Structure 1
Amino acid sequence: MKNYLIMTSSTSNMLKGDNLLKENSINTVLVPAPKEYGSVCAIAIRVSEQDLEKSKELLKSHDVNVEGIYEDLHEKLDNIVKKLKDKHISLEFKEITKSIEEGKELAYEDVLYLLKTDRPAEQEALFELADEMRKKVVGDVVDIRGAIEFSNYCIKDCNYCGLRKDNLELERYRMSEDEILEIVNDIKNMGLKTVILQSGEDPHYTKEIMGNILKRIKNETGLKITLSIGERELEEYEYFKSCGADNYLLKIETTNKAIFDEIHPDGDMENRLKCIQKIKSLGYLNGNGAIIGLPMQKEEDIAKDIMFFKDMGINMIGIGPFVPAKNTPYENLPHGDVRMTLKAVAVTRLVCQRVFIPATTALLTVDRSAQAKALISGANSLMLVNTPETYRENYVIYSNKSEVGLDYAIESIKEAGRKLPLYLTKSKEV
């Protein structure tokens, strides 16, 4: 059965329309929209063909401003099968490639094959396919965002994270509202359009305190705001949205419950999923992601993670290797495999298509060339670390974290043969 995408004139219209349709027993899914129907990462309401006419009538009768309705088609890559004819690849890989060329959605078994293949020709072809898909759906410009790690206090005790509450060796810090705003203004002066506010799960920053920070950032700079502050009460997500938050990043990290429970001894996977659903229902651009190389993790788990991102209609997907942190139960474990991480990035681009995928800092920490490799394997964004040096060394989710400054980001983008964003002030000088 066909599905259709309903594009509205604004986020408020989209939320009003989505709630209206749900109240009338119409099954809807909020998904990233094709760039030709709106900006990259715009959100569309997806409905089935059988519900389309009823949806149109309801939206019209309740004055929801609809800008367009389009069939939900999977992107195609033309003539890619011919390009692979001289490569040493299997019949199964050729069949998967044919599905991509014809615009068919990849099945779980296809995803698993791509993750498991150890044939050099197939791996390189995978990266090429993902890079072509990236070029088609989001273009050549690499989006750059600035991050402020404003607190390293955390009430959780995750086994992999250096911020865990039982790490008594860590010197803790909290940034004041004025300190945060000073760095936000520095980010604006670079020309960047989005600031990421990231912290441990720190209850010191109450709903009211965070709300004031968000309002000041919006009123004083107009920047888009991504929050990454963990699990909160559901009404807090709604309040943060009303105060100016645009995006929310809350990673599932793994969809395997046994692994989730192992790495989060005081965590609750059901609550994490409820939070992710609530964030999505409020119209946030929804950020999520996975860690590659966790204890007990297999390719099957990574494949299920990728299918989860597709089914959830996630807008931003961060995939990085596990990197051990000192003073944690996992400090002596090996880091995640870079090649598997790059394969996961590439497959995610082919499966989820119209999304932002960062070349993560964790990749850079493990391999100095890996960020540029990710940018030619499906990734299309970079995150700068703008945390003041006074605090930076104590924000240790993992140890020996590489710092991504503006100069290094520009170097990585050029190395990958990609384009700098026009909004970047410094790009006018290079």
Structure 2
Amino acid sequence: MEHYIIICNSTQHMLNADKILKQNDIKTELIPAPSEYGSVCSTAIKINAYNVDVAKKLLKDNSISLKGIYPYKIRKLEGIIDKIKEDLNDDLINVLKKVENGIELTEDDIVVILSSSGDKNLNSIFKAADEMRKAVVGDIVDIRAAIEFSNICRKNCFYCGLRRDNLSVERYRMDIDEIIQTAKELKKMGIRTVILQSGEDPWYTENKIIEIIKKIKKETNMRITLSIGERSYEEYKHFREAGANNFLLKIETTNREIFKNIHPDDDFDYRVKCSEWLRENGYVNGNGNIIGLPGQTARDIAKDILFFKDMGIHMVGIGPFVPATGTPLETYPHGDVEMTLKTVAATRLVLKNVFIPATTALATIDKDAQVKALMAGANTIMLISTPSKYRSRYKIYSNKNMVDLQTAYRAVIKAGRKMPPYINLEYIKDSE
């Protein structure tokens, strides 16, 4: 079925357009805007071709500002099987033929990818994902930086070292001035997106978070990603109005039983509802999963990937499970790096135009894993930029590897990729 995408000139016009179309019984799908249309709005509205004329009139009558309405291009990787030139198993060849012809992958297709083994099969998967990455987002690796401003959490998740009942953690909170000053230092490095990350700490009220957002915007004009957990619809709305651009709230797993087993005081449906609220408020919406949770299967992970697709997620964080001291899962083995890399690759092939970080958790298990992730479809690295006096206390998992600008630079160069032009390279030289 033929589709078109609507690109608006602002997030607010996009949200208004989506609302108007839905009110007139036009089925819409919010998807990450293809990179070739620029960055006027990160989200596009996808509609069936037979609704285009009616949609145009509705949007014109309601004064919606449009960049344009374009045919939805199916992403193909023509000739990818010839480039791989490997003797692959039949099931994987059939999946790669779908990728080659721009046919959407099914849950079973994703399971084939995730269940593949052997160097030839894995190399073909990573090569296809890397080609897709190159086609849709290019060779520049986006560099972002996280300020972990509080390790206090009201939740008691079984896998997380910050859990409420973990008495081995030395707790801290950064005050607002410390957070702003750290963001200003990141601005000097050239960082354009700061990630404000914490446990679910109720001390940081709606008003405090809004104050932080507004001060960072005023002092640096940086893009702001919030990663502060579950909040109300009104809070998400007010944070967005204050200037927050992105929000990262990971589902961790879409298997309800596993979710319940690792989240004793969370509700799966409420977590999904929060992601829907973020989408409705026009955030660049981040999500993600943990690979290697107890009881998890390849099919569970495939369902996760399709959930991200259905939710119109813009950024997917994929990391292996890493045990944390003082948690019920501290003796459980860490997640498999190979499965994590296969998940990165499958996510790139299915979701295509999204941000996929080469995560710190990967670097914690395997010092070369960030390079491997960049070569398997990832295109983002997040620096740990928490002030040194707090850094060692933010233990979501144990033995966390440090990822600074120098580490990121080495990974980017080793993967044959490019640093973004906005980074101040003097900071890399100074750290050598």
Q: How does 1:153-172 map to 2 (within 5 A)?
A: 153-172=152-171
Q: Secondary structure at the match of 2:225?
A: strand
Query: Which region of structure 1 is more displaced relative to structure 2, 23-32 or 355-364?
Result: 23-32
Percent identity of equivalent pairs: 54
Pair 1:330–1:302, CA change in 2 (3 A): same
CA displacement, residues 185-234 of structure 1 (integer Å, 9 cap, x when unaligned):
01100001000000000111110010010000111110000000000011
Work out whether 1:20 is the aligned partner of 2:38: no
Tell me the distance in 2 between the aligned counterparts of 1:207 and 1:428: 34
1:395 aligns with 2:394: yes
TM-score, structure 1 normalization: 0.98
Deviation, 1:73, is: 2.5
- Equivalent in the alignment of 1:30: 30
Letter in 2 for 1:35: S
Q: Distance in 2 between matches of 1:421 and 1:283?
A: 25
Note the C-alpha offset of 1:109.
0.9
* Distance in 2 between residues matched to 1:285 and 1:318, nearest whole Å: 13
Query: How far apart are the structure 1 equivalents of 2:200 and 2:10?
Result: 31
Deviations 1:117-138 (A, max 9, x none): 1132111100011011101100
Match of 2:151 in 1: 152
Moved more, 102-111 or 46-55: 46-55
Aligned equivalent of 1:277: 276
1:429 deviation in Å? 7.0
Shift of 1:51: 2.4
The separation in 1 between residues aligned to 2:28 and 2:87, in whole angstroms, is 43
What is the distance in 2 between the residues matched to 1:360 and 1:74? Answer: 29
Question: Structure 2 counterpart of 1:347, which letter?
Answer: A
Deviation (angstroms), 1:40: 9.7
Look up the SS of the partner of 1:294 in the other structure. Answer: coil
**Residue correspondences, number:** 429
Residue 142 of structure 2 contacts residue 379 of structure 2 at CA under 8 Å; is this kept in 1? yes
Amino acid at match of 2:241: S
Residue aligning to 2:60? 60
2:8 equivalent in structure 1 = 8
> SS of the counterpart of 1:197?
strand
* Aligned counterpart, 1:116: 115
Matched with 2:182 is: 183
Aligned to 2:421: 422
AA aligned to 1:185 is: K
Q: CA deviation at 1:340?
A: 0.3
State the one-letter code of the partner of 2:356: I
Amino acid at match of 2:396: I
CA distance in 2 between partners of 1:3 and 1:108 (Å)? 22
Q: For 1:323 and 1:411, locate their aligned partners in 2 and report how far apart those are by CA, in whole Å.
A: 23
Is the alpha carbon distance of 1:413 and 1:124 closer, same or farther for their aligned partners in structure 2, counting shifts above 3 Å? same
Question: Cα RMSD between the aligned structures?
Answer: 1.3
Write the distance in 2 (CA, Å) between the matches of 1:274 and 1:235.
Answer: 13
After TM superposition, the structure 1 stretch with the greater mean CA deviation from structure 2, 323-332 or 25-34, is 25-34
Aligned to 1:352: 351
2:228: which partner in 1? 229
> Alpha-carbon deviation of 1:389?
1.1
Query: Offset at 1:148?
Result: 0.2
Deviation at 1:9, TM superposition (A): 1.0
Distance, in Å, in 1 between the alignment partners of 2:427 and 2:321 is: 36
Matched residue of 1:425: which SS?
coil
Deviations 1:5-61 (A, max 9, x none): 100111121111112112222221211111111239821011122322221111000
Asked if the contact 1:40/1:138 (under 8 Å) is kept, the reply is: no
SS in 2 for 1:118: coil
CA–CA distance in structure 1, aligned partners of residues 40 and 114 of structure 2: 27
Q: Residues 215 and 243 of structure 1 are in contact (CA less than 8 Å); yes or no, is this contact kept in structure 2?
A: yes
Instruction: Name the counterpart of 1:370.
Output: 369
**Is the 1:248–1:284 contact (alpha carbons within 8 Å) kept by the matching residues of 2?**
yes
Structure 1 runs (4+) greater than 3 angstroms displaced = 427-430
Letter in 2 for 1:25: D
Alignment of 1:63-102 (within 5 A): 63-85=63-85, 87-102=86-101
Once the two structures are overlaid, the 10-residue window that deviates more, 258-267 or 118-127, is: 118-127
Q: For 2:256, give the aligned amino acid.
A: K
2:317 alignment partner, SS class: strand
CA contact (8 A) 2:3 2:49 kept: yes
Give TM-score scaled by structure 2 length: 0.97
Alignment partners' CA distance in 2, 1:238 and 1:39: 21
CA contact (8 A) 1:73 1:103 kept: no
| AA in 2 matched with 1:102 | N
CA distance in 1, matches of 2:105, 2:71: 18
Say which is worse superposed, 314-323 or 63-72, in terms of deviation.
63-72
Question: Hey, what's the Cα distance between the residues in 1 that align with 2:397 and 2:204?
Answer: 23
2:10 touches 2:40 (CA, 8 Å); kept in 1? no
CA contact (8 A) 1:148 1:195 kept: yes
Match of 1:195 in 2: 194
- Aligned-partner residue type, residue 254 of structure 1: T
Q: 1:231 to 1:429 in 2, by over 3 A?
A: closer
C-alpha distance in structure 1 between counterparts of 2:84 and 2:337, whole Å: 24
Determine the C-alpha separation between the residues in 2 that align with 1:403 and 1:143: 18
Q: Tell me the residue number matched to 1:298.
A: 297
Alignment of 1:275-354 (within 5 A): 275-354=274-353
- Matches of 1:124 and 1:427, distance apart in 2: 36
Residue 19 of structure 1 aligns to which amino acid in structure 2? Answer: K
Q: Residue 266 of structure 2 corresponds to which residue in structure 1?
A: 267
Deviations 1:251-292 (A, max 9, x none): 011000000000001110000000000001111000000100
The SS at the match of 2:114 is helix
The 8 Å contact of residues 198 and 229 in structure 1, kept in 2 or not, is answered as yes
Q: Judging changes above 3 Å, is the alpha-carbon distance between structure 1 residues 428 and 172 closer, same or farther for their aligned structure 2 residues? A: closer
Shift, 1:183, TM fit: 0.3
